Amino acid sequence: MKPAPFGFAKAKSVEHAIALLGEHADARILAGGQSLIATLNMRLSAPKLLVDINALDELKRIAVAGDWLEIGALVRHAEAERSPEIARHAPLIARALPHIAHPAIRNRGTIGGSIAYADPAAELPACLLALGGEITIASKAGRRTIKAEDFFKGLFETALAPGDILTGVRVPVAGADGRYGFAELARRHGDYALVGLAAAARADGKALRDVRLAFFGVGATPIRARMAEAAVGLGTDPVVALARDLDPEGDVQASAAAKKHLAGVLLRRVAAQLREARP
């Protein structure tokens, strides 16, 4: 199928992009195009105007600012994968990136596009939630920052409003006591996960504190498993506690029972990773 006709404009700055979005009630941002173009071609969406933000160099930075690592919205997955700053300061994201799709898609797909699209089976939204990350947004009203836990609202639904541009994300810089775990199960490497888990904690001697477990592929948004978090911290069996955290529905990939079982399998793997010393 071919997309419905649409207009096209190339933004020269964030302010220009905001102005273009304001001119049309049904305008959409084009970043890497890896999800958007497919939805246009399948006529799942038919915006009147695409605002291409690919020329905005100000959204391509990766930098440390105080206690935060900032990653611009237009950083491609493949660039993030090769970034020494992300490897050093956000090892959880570095671990998750190779699981996103295939190299050709990672060459074009962007960090901001992945967070804005908010696929419930995507890796990066769960990583942001596990890390206590934040999302930065620009609009006609100015700039604002939203915590990841307040950003993902429902199925493909976020706190972004019409006219908003996601300018970047930021996560706390990993400390020496930071411990991270990541695992997912997919039918083939690079497919969207059936179930996945991103996790962060702090080592306190032999114990773990501030455990944050963010599952994906088990609901409309990434989901914190708070009972299991407490169990990991206390050293009790987290899989027993997990039964009270997750109530996944089945989908085309797996039944509800299979997802529940797989979530438990991943939890055991990731809990073991959290206990490992960092290299």
Ligand X SMILES: Cc1cc2nc3c(=O)[nH]c(=O)nc-3n(C[C@H](O)[C@H](O)[C@H](O)COP(=O)(O)OP(=O)(O)OC[C@H]3O[C@@H](n4cnc5c(N)ncnc54)[C@H](O)[C@@H]3O)c2cc1C
- Min dist CB 97 to ligand X, Å, is 9
- Min dist CB 229 to ligand X, Å, is 23
Stretch that binds ligand X, among 113-121, 142-150, 171-179, 205-213 (CB under 6 A): 113-121
CA distance 250 to 263: 13
**Between residues 17 and 208, which has the closer beta carbon with respect to ligand X?**
17
Pattern 19-38, binding to ligand X, x per CB under 6 A? Answer: ---------xxxxxxxxx-x
Q: Give residue 254's identity as a one-letter amino acid code.
A: A
Among 20, 69, 73, 194, binds ligand X (CB under 6 A): 73
Asked if residue 136 binds ligand X (CB under 6 A), the reply is no
- Min dist CB 71 to ligand X, Å, is 12
**Between residues 104 and 207, which has the closer beta carbon with respect to ligand X?**
104
Binding footprint of ligand X on the chain (CB under 6 A): 28-36, 38, 73, 100-101, 105, 109-110, 112-114, 116-117, 119, 122-124, 160, 165-166, 192
